[in-house]
């Protein structure tokens, strides 16, 4: 049987998971793909560090460049994270015409366009299934299984940390700060959690999905991002009463007619922000640390991809899928059966956030006196914004209470301008809360 050697660059949680999975299921993989895979090097910072997986000392090394340049190594797996050394690792391997597997969404978000170009010039594969949604095979599905579709809607819950926090707030009524601390204690959130809770991790993933689905490179700066730090238990309770749940939702949809794709050079919405989702929709039932991606294609119709979005084993599973693809491509003397990124929609663009049309939930803290609602309604009417429903609970203290408005379709720029005007009214106290509502039309 043909045999290939693999260098794993990074011996952290995922690197150890990949090594362990290959030891566990390497024989099974060899039987399925006709190629035996052997880990020749695992590159680590410290060889003597205690690890959750026993790796033979002769396999461990601290020299990533020597590991990549080893003539006996045919496949390189980059699992160190970051965008500096990781970029050098990937570029070095590609220039040596060695296929690279990476789980590094931050690297691909920042430098993907140049790295994909480098891979194409050197006719070598660059594989990245593990960079988006962990063990969910969404990249392969978009690039291969659904290649015959125009994508009319893609929505994703792409960050397990945020989803865990929101569902805990939902089920237990605990405030954001307390749930975040508990998530950090349980290992669901990093000590420095801003990458997750500010929406940046999900933004990196959404940009990759959007680029693949719509055929042009979507840079991070084009993506609107909001985190979950401003979501209160009060918002979650009101959403529940109104028939919704709040999730951090990535939205990747063509603009114009909401239910169709323009035939030539469409503009698309790419955003990541807290969103009210009807409880009847399947994405509202995605709880805890799980991820899900809802894809609507013009040929296939509705599909759902659901599973563990992060973690040692889920990510290792996706990495092994890419290792198998790289081995099959090498066996067939093909640089990659499917290009890592194939641009075909030149001239397409991401619509500016202020032009995006959406329904909205608005929560205000208002003085309870006659004429308050009239002042607010006047501002909205002057901006051409319609109200679909109003909720004002009874029993608040001190003459100030919450007022909930459900807003009809309006462009984001207009609703934000109206919200600023409303916040300056004397009857409105504190900062208004504004959250998108998605009905998946």
* Residues identified as active-site: 205
Q: Cα-Cα-Cα-Cα dihedral of 308, 309, 311, 315, to 10°?
A: 100
| CA distances, 364 to each of 175, 359, 368, 373 (Å) | 19, 16, 11, 11
Beta bridge partners of 410: 358
Beta strands of 351-399 (E only): which ranges? 357-367, 387-391
Helices of type H across 5-84: 13-33, 64-69
Q: Are 431 and 411 in contact (CB under 8 A)?
A: no
Residue with token string 């003397």: 333
- Angle of CA points 387, 389, 393, to nearest 5°: 125
Angle 412-423/372-382 helices, nearest 10 degrees? 150
- 140: alpha, beta or left? (left if phi > 0; alpha if psi -120 to 50): alpha
State how far the Cα of 153 lies from the Cα of 248, in Å rounded to an integer: 16
Burial tier of 398 (Cβ tally within 10 Å: 0-12, 13-18, 19+): exposed
Are 198 and 324 in contact by the 8 Å Cβ rule? The answer is: no
SS3 217: coil
The contacts of residue 29 (CB under 8 Å, 6+ apart) are: 22, 37, 320, 324
Which residues lie closer than 8 Å to 185 by C-beta, 6 or more apart? none
- Answer for the pair 284, 278: CB distance below 8 angstroms, yes or no: yes
Strands in 70-214 per DSSP E: 75-78, 100-102, 126-127, 151-157
- Where do the DSSP E strands lie in 124-213? 126-127, 151-157
Which DSSP helix (H) or strand (E) runs through 326?
Answer: helix 312-331
Q: What are phi and psi of 115, to 5 degrees?
A: -70, -40
Which residues of 284-356 form beta strands (DSSP E)?
290-297, 301-308, 349-350
């Amino acid at each position: 049987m043909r045999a290939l050697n693999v260098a794993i660059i990074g011996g952290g949680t995922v690197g150890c998971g990949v090594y362990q999975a290959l030891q566990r299921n390497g024989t099974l993989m060899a039987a399925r793909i006709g190629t035996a895979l052997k880990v020749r090097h695992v590159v680590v910072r410290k060889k003597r560090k205690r690890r959750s997986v026993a790796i033979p000392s002769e396999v461990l090394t601290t020299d990533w460049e020597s590991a990549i340049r080893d003539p006996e190594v045919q496949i390189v797996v980059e699992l160190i994270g970051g965008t500096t050394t990781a970029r050098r690792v990937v570029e070095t391997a590609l220039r040596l015409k060695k296929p690279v597997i990476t789980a590094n969404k931050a690297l691909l978000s920042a430098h993907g366009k140049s790295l994909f170009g480098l891979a194409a010039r050197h006719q070598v594969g660059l594989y990245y299934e593990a960079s988006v949604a962990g063990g969910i095979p969404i990249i392969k599905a978009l690039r291969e299984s659904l290649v015959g579709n125009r994508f009319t809607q893609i929505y994703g819950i792409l960050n397990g940390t945020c989803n865990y926090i929101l569902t805990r707030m939902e089920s237990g009524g605990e405030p954001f700060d307390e749930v975040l601390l508990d998530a950090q204690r349980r290992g669901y959130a990093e000590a420095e959690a801003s990458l997750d809770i500010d929406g940046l991790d999900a933004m990196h993933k959404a940009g990759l999905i959007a680029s693949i689905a719509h055929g042009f490179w979507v840079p991070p700066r084009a993506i609107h991002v909001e985190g979950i730090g401003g979501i209160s238990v009060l918002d979650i309770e009101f959403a529940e009463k109104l028939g919704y749940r709040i999730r951090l939702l990535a939205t990747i949809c063509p603009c114009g007619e909401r239910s169709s794709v323009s035939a030539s050079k469409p503009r698309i919405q790419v955003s990541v922000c807290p969103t009210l989702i009807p409880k009847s929709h399947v994405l509202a039932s995605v709880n805890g640390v799980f991820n899900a991606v809802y894809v609507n294609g013009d040929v296939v119709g509705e599909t759902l991809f659901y599973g563990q979005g992060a973690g040692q084993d889920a990510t290792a599973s996706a990495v092994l899928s890419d290792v198998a693809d790289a081995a099959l491509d090498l066996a067939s003397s093909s640089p990659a059966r499917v290009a890592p990124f194939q641009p075909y929609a030149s001239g397409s663009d991401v619509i500016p956030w202020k032009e995006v049309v959406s329904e909205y939930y608005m929560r205000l803290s208002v003085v309870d006196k006659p004429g308050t609602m009239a002042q607010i309604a006047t501002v909205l009417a002057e901006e051409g914004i319609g109200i679909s429903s109003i909720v004002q609970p009874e029993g608040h203290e001190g003459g100030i209470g919450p007022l909930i408005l459900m807003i009809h379709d309006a462009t984001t720029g207009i609703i934000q301008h109206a919200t600023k005007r409303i916040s300056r009214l004397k009857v409105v106290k504190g900062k208004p809360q504004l959250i998108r509502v998605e009905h998946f039309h």
